[in-house]
Structure 1
Amino acid sequence: MKTEIIAVGTELLLGQIVDTNSSWMGEQLALAGIDSHYQTKVGDNFDRIDASLRLALDRSDAVIVCGGLGPTQDDITREVLASLMGAELVLDAVIADRIRAMFASRSRPMPENNLRQAMVPTGATPIPQQPGTAPGLMAPIRWVRGVGAVPHGSEPPDGAEVLDRVVYVVPGVPYEMREMLNGTVLGDLQRRAGVSATIESRVLRTWGQSESGLAEMLAGRIDELDETGNPTLAFLASGIEGIKVRITAKGADSAEAWSLIDAEQAVLEPLLGDLVFAYDDDTMETAVLAELGRLGLTLGVAETITGGRMANRLSSAEAALRAGTAPGGAKLGDPGLATASDTNQSEPSGPRTFAGGIVARSEHLAEYLLHAGSWEVSPLGDDLVPPLASTAGSLALARAARLRTNASVGIAVTAVEYQASATAEHPFGTAFLAVSITAQPAHGDVPAVAHRDKADEIRLPGDRERLADYSAISALNLLRLILQGRH
């Protein structure tokens, strides 16, 4: 069975929104054992959406259309689908009541145009999952290549080859789309395709090596796997999130597939060593928080170039962990990843690991932090504070972060962030990472922790924004390695 994806929305063509939905759906189709040969983006235009659908139905068994299901005038996907099917749009009373109830639960009046979302083409059925106001649709279609759909209740032209096709229409809001894909669409596609094998996947997340470097490290193993064909390895460069190494295996059932993955992971991890920092949807910050929790430590951060990036990532990850929800591996700021229930939670229990952070962008604040701790911050004394953009300066700032937040661990990042302040010894892109850990005796099952002050000087590529991003993740990685006794 061949499936293709059509993403609807003029904003996708204008670059106002990056189409992460199609890439995610493509990955899930591959993991489900479903072939996907085409992905198309089309604007909010009736004729162009219609033409895209007709082309897709001529060449593919199934089409997933994402977007255009909202209540406004430019949300026309359902109208195009009805026209293509030769069907009427009929109000679904159950969906209409569900939409009204959603607005009532938020104590908000419902604009009447929301009932457009309850219109369903005759012959199509709503997808059961409906986390938002826009329902998804599943529409089996009898299709004549080059001609069009055989309308519901009609007979095809004499001698025509009638093809069984299916169109799934899902919202463009990521979490709504994902719930429908996982809840209905993927299973229905597997049933139609007769896929009996189970395909599973695990991601090893790495930091500190390039994609080509990883490929070279694993070249021998990749050659061996090419001979067997199962499991397989794939690399995905993910910017600040590192390089992902995905192990995918096929088995008669889930247990067999996971057994193959576990065996392959046992082979890969000794080859990759310290580069692996997390798995699947975990992140560098969840890995760091886990290590801090294991050792009974708390963390404070001081940031200059990173401008609060570390504090943002750590606080978001800790909030998700304390609430018992997975971070999801999504980049901060991705739309649509919070559900309504996320905003109505009771205060989580348990101790906080992340104490807080200080963003020292002004010279006044930075100098205050470096002077205020006396010899505890700078062994040189208050009158001999080291330059901020140096290993000694970053280490003094890490001590200040620990002391000022009353934490047991402090980390800090400084950098040569402007060309004007660069030197031959320290060119633009030089970052200074530092960790300061206070000693802690063993108690209960928690091991003793030795006092440790460590600073690293590294060179990072790119412009100032990339320097800030990579400095943040590199500092967290340094802390991870120290806490794990690997540095």
Structure 2
Amino acid sequence: MRCSVVAIGTELLLGQIVDTNSSWLGEQLAAAGIDSLFQVKVGDNLGRIVSTLRSTLEQTDAVIICGGLGPTHDDITREAIAEIMGVELEMNDEVALVIEQMFTARNRRMPENNLRQAMVPRGAKIIEQRRGTAPGLICPVGDKVMYAVPGVPFELYEMFERAILPDLLTRSGEASVIKSRVLRTWGDSESGLNERLVGVICELEKVGNPTLAFLASGWEGIKVRLTAKANTQQDAMKLIDVWDAKVRSEVGDIVFGVDAQTMESVVLDILREKNLTLAVAESVTGGL
């Protein structure tokens, strides 16, 4: 299975936003044994988006499109996909209802342009939105496929893991399941962690499954990723649980979170459990 990633947004070309989505997707595809041949950025221009999608689709089996699914006039990924598929955009009433309910739940008026996010290319499958207002899309083009996901990282991550990766593996004929867990650490360097875990790493090199990788993430600390392959999701998670315990036994309490957890979210979770609140003031001098 050959895959490409297309990140959409003029802000990416101007350097106003760093494209971390493509690097994350490349990492996930590699861990799943899927070849990632291209990573392309393109601005908010319908003609150039269509041209880029056609080019990447000609050379790969699947294209993952990040961004351009929002409610504003420059969110034109849906229109580009519809042109590639040769179909019209249609209002999906179920998606529209979900968007309306999200605004109602927050006691906010819904700007009418939010319903643009419920316009779906005919023949596309919806990836339900669970965190934001824009759904993802699975769009068949002959024997190939385009996936579209929001550019907001945490929305993209969730949709990729829940819907896109399983669909890619099914299309590739890969019967096994690949699962990963990221242990987030603080308090030691990458080389220091490697030294602590040298015994675990040697064991893993002998057994071959799961695998362990380090990712230095600046102020987010060092991430330790365990990736296991098995016949079922349950078996893969059992493997990860075993080696998770071995890693923690070597590094101690410098593991502060798992997967998408951040230091801030962990602290807030602890405060909620203890029914405490937190107030933060940047300055109490009024600039004096």
Contact kept in structure 1, 2:186 and 2:256, CA below 8 Å: no
> Contact 1:141–1:167 at 8 Å: present in 2 too?
yes
2:253 paired with 1:319 = no
| TM-score for both structures, normalised by structure 2 | 0.80
Cα distance change of structure 1 residues 59 and 104 upon mapping to structure 2, 3 Å threshold = same
What one-letter code is carried by the residue in structure 2 that aligns with 1:91? Answer: M
Of 275, 278, 302, which residue of structure 1 is paired with 2:256? Answer: 278
Aligned-residue offset at 1:31: 5.1
Q: How many Å separate the matches in 1 of 2:32 and 2:271?
A: 32
Q: CA deviation digits over 1:375-396, x for unaligned, max 9? A: xxxxxxxxxxxxxxxxxxxxxx
Give 1:195 shift: 2.6
Matched, 1:49 2:53: no
Greater radius of gyration (CA): 1
CA contact (8 A) 1:128 1:184 kept: no
Q: Does 1:177 align with 2:156?
A: yes
1:78-157 equivalent positions in 2, closer than 5 A: 78-129=78-129, 131-142=131-142
Deviations 1:399-442 (A, max 9, x none): xxxxxxxxxxxxxxxxxxxxxxxxxxxxxxxxxxxxxxxxxxxx
Whether the aligned pair in 1 keeps the contact of 2:125 and 2:139 (CA below 8 Å) is yes
Q: Which residue of 2 aligns with 1:237?
A: 216
Would the aligned equivalents of 2:126 and 2:136 in 1 still touch at CA under 8 Å?
yes
1:86 Cα shift? 1.9
Partner in structure 1 of residue 6 of structure 2: 6
**Alignment-mate amino acid for residue 76 of structure 2:** I
The one-letter amino acid paired with 1:173 is V
How far did residue 6 of structure 1 move? Answer: 1.3
> Aligned pair in 2 of structure 1 residues 109, 360: CA closer, same or farther (>3 Å)?
closer
1:429 maps to what in 2?
none
User: Could you list the per-position Cα deviations for residues 330-359 of structure 1 after superposition, in whole angstroms to 9, with x for gaps in the alignment?
Assistant: xxxxxxxxxxxxxxxxxxxx454x887898
Q: 5+ unaligned residues in a row in structure 2: which ranges? A: none
| 1:8 shift after superposition | 0.7
SS in 1 for 2:74: coil
Equivalent residue number for residue 227 of structure 2:
248
> Distance between the aligned counterparts of 1:22 and 1:66, measured in 2?
8
The Cα of 1:317 is off from its aligned counterpart by 3.9
Distance 1:204 1:54 in 2: 38
Q: Deviations over 1:79-132 (max 9, x none)?
A: 111112222223334434444444455555544433333322233233333654
Q: Is the 8 A contact 1:209 1:275 kept in 2?
A: no
State the alpha-carbon separation in 2 of the partners of residues 6 and 282 from structure 1. 23
Using a 3 Å threshold, how does the CA distance of structure 1 residues 241 and 121 change in structure 2: closer, same or farther? closer
Q: Where does 1:81-480 land on structure 2 (aligned, <5 Å)?
A: 81-129=81-129, 131-142=131-142, 164-216=143-195, 218-219=197-198, 222=201, 225-265=204-244, 267-269=246-248, 272-274=250-252, 276-281=254-259, 313=264, 317-323=266-272, 350-352=274-276
The AA in structure 2 aligned to 1:133 is T
Q: Distance in 1 between matches of 2:34 and 2:229?
A: 13
Query: What is the rounded CA distance, in whole Å, between the counterparts of 2:148 and 2:17 in structure 1?
Result: 19
RMSD of aligned Cα (Å): 3.5
Identity %: 54
Greater relative CO (CA pairs within 8 A, separation 6+): 2
Amino acid at match of 1:69: L
The 1-side partners of 2:90 and 2:281 are apart by 57
Structure 1 residues 323 and 229: CA distance shift in structure 2, 3 A: same
Matches of 1:118 and 1:357 in 2, distance apart? 38
Is contact 2:256–2:266 with CA below 8 Å preserved after alignment?
no
**Counterpart-to-counterpart distance in 1, 2:175 and 2:68:** 33
The TM-score, its normalising length taken from structure 1, stands at: 0.50
Question: How much does 1:188 deviate?
Answer: 2.0
Counterpart amino acid of 2:116?
A: R
The equivalent of 1:472 in structure 2 is: none
| Deviations, residues 193-240 of structure 1 (Å, cap 9, x unaligned) | 233222233334444433234435545654553344222121110222
Given that 1:241 and 1:283 are in contact with CA atoms closer than 8 Å, whether structure 2 keeps it comes out as no
Contact 2:183 2:259 in 1 (8 A): no
The count of corresponding residues between Structure 1 and Structure 2 is 285
1:192–1:72 Cα change, 3 Å = same
> 2:100, 2:242 → 1: CA distance?
51
- Please, which runs of 5 or more residues in structure 1 have no aligned partner? 143-163, 286-312, 325-349, 363-487
**Alignment check: 8 A CA contact 1:7 1:40 kept:** yes
1:57 deviates by: 0.9
Which residue of structure 2 aligns with residue 72 of structure 1? 72
Q: Does 1:58 align with 2:36?
A: no
Asked if the contact 2:257–2:266 (Cα under 8 Å) also holds between the matched residues in 1, the reply is no
Query: Do the aligned partners of 2:3 and 2:34 also contact (CA within 8 Å) in 1?
Result: yes
Letter in structure 2 aligned against 1:122:
R
* Structure 1 SS opposite 2:16: coil
Query: One-letter code of the match for 1:86?
Result: G
Cα deviation for residue 21 of structure 1 reads: 2.8
